[in-house]
Structure 1
Amino acid sequence: MPETDGPRERGHRSQPRRFDGRRARGGAPEGHRAMDSEGRLYGALDLGTNNCRLLIAKPSRDGFRVVDSFSRIVRLGEGLSRTGRLDNAAMDRAYDALMACSERVARRGVDSDRLMAVATQACRQAENGAEFIERVRTGTGLKLRIIDPVEEAKLAVEGCVNLFDPDAEAILVVDVGGGSTELSWLRREGDRFEMQSWMSAPIGVVTLAERHPEPAGARTGVLENWYETMVADMGAAIADNPADPDLRSLFETGRAHMVGTSGAITSLAGIHLGLRRYQRNLVDGLWMTRSDCEAAADRLKDMGHAGRAAESCIGPDRADLVLAGAAIMEAVQRAWPSERVRVADRGLREGLLLQRMREDRKPSRRRRRRGRGKGAQPPVT
């Protein structure tokens, strides 16, 4: 479940402030003062097909500490599968969210070289994706980079590494997005996991829900058939990627597990736990069985659209998408049988942060050359 926009900070001005500070009053953005007191901050912005999400964090000994976060459902990819273009209303929603991110980044004082801003499937696929990215750059100061599926998959893996069972022999990371789903297979090599293969299916919760609209007021049997059609659609996409028989045997014999990252699995977790309100500390890192996931999906079907909209872990903005996410997860679990799936309320943004912070911890080439004099010790990384 995504974070809320959060409370407005004191001193928030109605005058918009771009990330580059060009609309800030009195010269430099307020955030530069905040940076002096809070220390070095990093930002990671992910503009997806369904959500616009931002994390601002400070490095810590065991990774990083989140200082601020933002998430808003924008449905940038709404109608994209039919038209091949980003819709004007969808672009306006995304632009407004990105302006809010730009203001938040400026107030926090995140330097431009420590803000990683990326866009994924919707902007990759749309004929006017690059045009929208340029509009965002000129209007908000944010420089979004459209990343390809393999980088998206690697970043999701990077963000979830801490949730891998070190005793497992293989891991499958499933990142369900709005417009695509990335699957990454890793195998344990010594004391670490190495990526063996990956695939990106052009099916996400938005595309699948648009392709298979929920029948209104349908009986249980009709709903079940509709749900199975979505599972089969995703199953066909997975089948296009030949399975490694050695890897598959590790899953079939219980020596491997899945990690699910996205609202698709966190929503199932919230329903499974019966949460009256979403609590990340209870969801992130939770172990679920395949039958737990199926039971949660059955509960979602029984609720109907109105019941799902009233659920605090889902809400009206995702009531028509959550079962598409459950169907995607079920298709993957049928194709790669595993009794254990670990829930990750983390992923691409966390991967961006960890990657950038790790780069900054590496000694520069100049410092390494200076340290090669007599008696110098090799740098500690």
Structure 2
Amino acid sequence: MTETVARHIPDAPPETAAPACARVEHGQAAFAAIDLGTNNCRLLVAAPTTSGFRVVDSFSRIVRLGEGLAQSGRLADGAMDRAASALRACADKLARRPVRRFEAVATEACRRATNGAAFLSRITAETGLRLRIISAREEAALAMESCAPLLEPADRRALLFDIGGGSTEIAWIRVPDGPRAGEPPELIGYLSLPLGVVTLAERAGQDCFTQRGFCDVVDEVAHHLAEFDRVHCIGQEIRVGGVRLMGTSGTVTTLAGVAMALPRYKRPLVDGKILECEAADLALGDLFALGREGLAQHPCVGPERVEFVLPGCAVYAAIRRVWPTPRITVADRGLREGMLTRMMRAERTASRRRAWR
């Protein structure tokens, strides 16, 4: 099922207390964000700068929290144990570093699982970390927040996609112009599909290694995207011009790494890269031709991600079919960066208010 809205991006959330496990100091203390997804657990700690923020620590681990969720409707014991272990590692990092503000969110796996809330209560009891389950709309808005700096003055609209582990989020974005130029972009529509690399890998992963199975997934995803397109006339806007296609996920960054022939993946070379879609399409063909063994050996893939690459590529191919554009902006950033940006903006606003008193 699809969901669409036509609302402005919400205000930054209220100040979030640091976790019980963290040392809290003011002044130059850092900000921290945790994103617990269907496939990964990620932590980012950063300090604000005049131009954004500087990363001072990070953590990422594949936990496969959504393993078996599509069949059972519940988080499996082993999956919860893996995620809990990763979150304990995050808590240990936070306990050793001053943190001014902190936010932690959980996405599709905990949204869908009947025991998702109970699992997060367990995490709070074990680690002191309080994770908040966010809606699909807020997930899309946070992705937009993180990628907003990649927009350019000539952009009227942006179409941002995030191919996650348990879902794919599409954000349709208006870029303010005229007297409102320079204001934050607006989320005017979003789509959340319960089709991510983990769910597709479990359901059709083996088939994605065949031409027919891959095309079946492309057809399924494209059908949902076409419904969203009819509501928002995105294809028509693309033909008029001024629409930027942006992708943030392991799928699109992998395609960029292959297209750029990187001997090993390097984030600074990929984040913000404007890639010709023809080159990305050729990279997709190269990945498909490698097969399972070749993907495991590829420096931009590796054995841990073999099962997820082609399902993600099928989602990307559906996006390209429904919304053909000449170029794509690749973003190696996501929810953590969006949360950090919001927290730092809220801190600056609060500081100005204190100064006015």
Given the two structures, how large is their TM-score scaled by the length of structure 2? 0.89
SS state at 1:243 partner: helix
Match of 1:13 in 2: none
Aligned mates of 2:129, 2:338 — CA distance in 1: 19
Deviation at 1:366, TM superposition (A): 6.8
Deviation at 1:246, TM superposition (A): 4.8
Deviation at 1:201, TM superposition (A): 0.9
1:264 aligns with 2:251: yes
SS state at 1:135 partner: helix
SS state at 2:29 partner: coil
Match of 1:378 in 2: none
SS state at 2:311 partner: helix
Aligned mates of 1:167, 1:366 — CA distance in 2: 33
Q: CA RMSD in A?
A: 2.1
Match of 1:212 in 2: 204
Match of 2:14 in 1: none
1:87 aligns with 2:76: yes
1:328 aligns with 2:315: yes
Deviation at 1:271, TM superposition (A): 1.0
Deviations 1:53-75 (A, max 9, x none): 11000000011100001111111
Aligned mates of 2:232, 2:167 — CA distance in 1: 25
Equivalences for 1:28-107 in 2 at 5 Å?
Answer: 39-107=28-96
Corresponding residue to 1:357 among 328, 344, 355: 344
Deviation at 1:213, TM superposition (A): 2.4
Deviations 1:36-83 (A, max 9, x none): 8x9211001000001101100000001110000111111100111111
Structure 2 residue runs without a partner (length 5+): 1-17
Match of 2:20 in 1: 20
Match of 1:26 in 2: none
Match of 1:170 in 2: 157
Match of 2:5 in 1: none
Aligned mates of 1:229, 1:257 — CA distance in 2: 27
Aligned amino acid, residue 278 of structure 2 = S
The answer as to whether partners of 1:169 and 1:250 remain within 8 angstroms in 2 is no
Change (3 A) 1:130 1:103: same
Aligned amino acid, residue 52 of structure 2 = G
Deviation at 1:297, TM superposition (A): 1.1
Aligned amino acid, residue 59 of structure 1 = P
Match of 1:273 in 2: 260
Deviations 1:350-378 (A, max 9, x none): 110010110011146973763xxxxxxxx
Change (3 A) 1:197 1:215: closer
SS state at 2:340 partner: helix
Corresponding residue to 1:297 among 268, 284, 291: 284
Corresponding residue to 1:110 among 82, 99, 109: 99
Deviation at 1:311, TM superposition (A): 1.4
Aligned mates of 2:19, 2:67 — CA distance in 1: 27
Match of 1:230 in 2: 217
Deviation at 1:19, TM superposition (A): 5.5
Kindly name which structure, 1 or 2, has the bigger radius of gyration based on alpha carbons: 1
Deviations 1:195-222 (A, max 9, x none): 2211111111111111112259x7xxxx
Equivalences for 1:135-154 in 2 at 5 Å?
Answer: 135-154=122-141
SS state at 1:321 partner: helix
SS state at 1:362 partner: helix
Given the two structures, how large is their TM-score scaled by the length of structure 1? 0.83
1:126 aligns with 2:113: yes
Structure 1 residue runs without a partner (length 5+): 1-17, 22-28, 371-381
The answer as to whether partners of 1:19 and 1:141 remain within 8 angstroms in 2 is yes
SS state at 1:367 partner: helix
The answer as to whether partners of 1:209 and 1:324 remain within 8 angstroms in 2 is yes
Aligned mates of 2:64, 2:261 — CA distance in 1: 27
Counting aligned pairs with the same residue, the percent is: 46
Deviation at 1:189, TM superposition (A): 2.5
Change (3 A) 1:366 1:170: closer
